[in-house]
Amino acid sequence: MKLPFAEPYKIKMVETIRKSTKVQRQNWIEQAKFNLFNLRSEQVYIDLLTDSGTGAMSDLQWSAMMTGDESYAGASSYYNLKNAIKEITGFDYFLPTHQGRAAENVLFSVLVKEGDIVPGNSHFDTTKGHIEFRKARAIDCTIDQASDTSVFHPFKGNCDIDKLGKVLRSHPVDKISCIILTVTNNSSGGQPVSMGNIRETSVLAAKYGVKLIIDSARFAENAWFIQQREKGYSGKSIREIALEMFSYADGMTMSSKKDAIVNMGGFIGFRDEELFRKAAPFNIMFEGYLTYGGMSGRDMNALAQGLYEGTEAEYLGSRVGQVAYLGTRLKEYEIPVLEPFGGHAIFIDALKFFPQISREEFPAQTLAVEIYLEGGIRSVEIGTLLADRDPSTRQNRYPALELVRLTIPRRVFTNNHMDYTAAAIRNVFERRNDIHKGLKILKEVPIMRHFTVELERV
Ligand SMILES: *Cc1c(COP(=O)(O)O)cnc(C)c1O
């Protein structure tokens, strides 16, 4: 019998989480204006809002924090991180930032100007936010299969090379800021991008003289899927695969709160010194001096260690395996979930779950609220609320998919928590036909409204 992937760690410290009653949750969600971001964490039993910054650090990461060097310039922690980044990504130059969006802000200050376009596979919401804030446009060239939840495609995060080619051909080169490949493709369901696709994208980028940037938050999970699914990679290590992925890019932005398993941190990696030199002053203005940016020395130490731990096959097997475990439970209960399962989350297709609720009434947000009421589980809407309004027409944008994301923090929950979650969602599924109405907006802001939106029941 083939031995399964088990967690390559044991638990040394635990944190208490508490259940609540349905009556309490009814009150809390009303006070939160039906926005799960407004809940206090004590009002949540199992928090699957995000896998960002919610991972459990290891004993080695905690001990690395104790030896952090807090010198303003030239700290040893900076060099520890520099070495780790070079070893894991191959990039010679880097700038530390406080998180991924800060990396975007600094890099886009150099690359993106008004009237530009930024093609790629589905851009993450903060990425799109930073692009649109600069009056430029993100163009989504993800393959069409990504928007069909029942099609099996091993690399549903891929960029459609024909679509990308058309975009590149039909715009002057000086209007194209860069191409951004997001690995794994978060907005299309944590779906991986194949090595072949990264390579083809880089060939196209080079042909048009456009830079290729990898949005790398989940690069290690992406490498895991390449190892598992792509021909020619089963014998390669995760680190070899990651190095090859990055070898096709001119730079990377990193939210270290994901695959580097720290609670805060990010960086930009650069292939050539010139772009690094141009970005450096923006890092100093927005983040901090070049050798700490947005991070303390101790944080850089923990991040350096996290980059190594996050790229171990045994860990990735148990992590991605836990996500698939939850997906399999939900499938057994016939709940419509996105397949193949993503690397960091399971996505429920709310249009199939609640076909009776119109899209104007935010079916995915309605489902997220019901799941909270049922079991005290916090998930997140990836649908019309998140998609925001069109910047020019101010109409709601209806994305192809209306999803609820159950995001699994790294090294935090056990499979018993997954069983509990699946049971709660099954209970909602069994009473789905009693729910006819969704939600409507009371208050919203013009950009990234989902974080602060206030809603009420229709
Ligand atoms: C989280 C994330 C970001 C932004 O990073 P933060 O650390 O949250 O600022 C950018 N891109 C992707 C794909 C992400 O998942």
In the structure, which protein residues have their CB atom closer than 6 angstroms to any atom of ligand 1? 52, 99-101, 124, 126-127, 182, 186, 215, 217, 255, 257-258, 266
Assess if residue 17 is contained within a domain: no
User: Please, are residues 339 and 213 in contact by the beta-carbon 8 Å criterion?
Assistant: no
What domain range includes position 45?
22-51+312-457
CA of residue 260 to ligand 1 center, whole Å: 12
Q: Calculate the alpha carbon distances from 385 to 2, 147, 382 in Å.
A: 44, 17, 7
Helix (H) or strand (E) holding 420: helix 415-430
CA 66 to chain centre: 29
Distance 126 CA to ligand 1 centre (A): 7
Domain identity same for 44 and 128: no
What is the predicted pLDDT for the residue at 147? 79
Rounded distance between C-alpha atoms, residue 425 and residue 407, angstroms = 14
What distance in Å separates the CA atoms of residue 214 and residue 104, rounded to the nearest whole number?
Answer: 11
Cα–Cα distance, 420 to 274 (Å, whole number) = 52
Instruction: Write down the pLDDT at residue 148.
Output: 79
Q: Is the pLDDT of residue 447 over 90?
A: no
Please indicate, yes or no, whether residues 275 and 423 belong to a single structural domain of this protein.
no
Same domain, 85 and 174: yes
What is the model's pLDDT at position 335? 98
Task: Taking residues 34-61, report their average pLDDT.
Answer: 98
pLDDT > 70: what percent of the chain? 100
**Could you count the other beta carbons within 10 Å of the beta carbon of residue 407?**
23
Longest CA pairwise span in the chain (Å): 62
The strand pairing partners of 93, in sequence order, are 270
Say yes or no: 304 and 316 in one domain. no
Residues 299 and 349 in one domain: no
* pLDDT, tens only, 273-308: 999 999 999 999 999 999 999 999 999 999 999 999
Could you tell me if 395 and 455 are in contact, meaning their C-beta atoms sit under 8 angstroms apart?
A: no
Instruction: Output the six-digit token pair for 266.
Output: 């990010």
**Per the structure block, which two tokens stand in for 85?**
């980044």
Paired with 47 in beta bridges are 378
CB contact set of 392 (below 8 Å; sequence gap of 6+) = none
Length of the chain: 458
Which residues have a catalytic role annotated? 72, 124-125, 215, 217, 258, 450
Q: What is the CATH number of the domain that holds 43?
A: 3.90.1150.10
Show which of 275, 293, 309 is a domain's final residue: 309
Q: Classify the C-alpha dihedral 159-160-163-169 as positive or negative.
A: positive
Mean pLDDT of 147-160: 89
pLDDT for 96 beyond 90: yes
**Residue whose CA lies nearest to ligand 1 atom number 10:** 100
Is residue 446 very low, low, confident or very high in pLDDT (cuts 50, 70, 90)? confident
Mean pLDDT of the chain: 96
Asked if 429 and 450 sit in the same domain, the reply is yes
Residue at which a domain ends, from 309, 332, 347: 309
Cα–Cα distance measured from residue 158 to residue 252, given in angstroms and rounded to the nearest whole number: 17
Task: Give the mean pLDDT of 198-213.
Answer: 98
> What is the atom index within ligand 1 of the atom nearest the CA of 99?
7
Element (H, E) at 240: helix 238-247
Quote the number of domains for the chain: 2
How confident is the model at residue 123, as a pLDDT?
92
Residue 103 inside a domain? The answer is yes
Instruction: Tell whether 230 and 279 lie within a shared domain.
Output: yes
Last residue within a domain, chosen from 262, 280, 309: 309
Residue 2 placed within a domain: no
| Token reading at 276 | 């690094």
**Cα 402 to ligand 1 centroid, rounded to whole Å:** 20
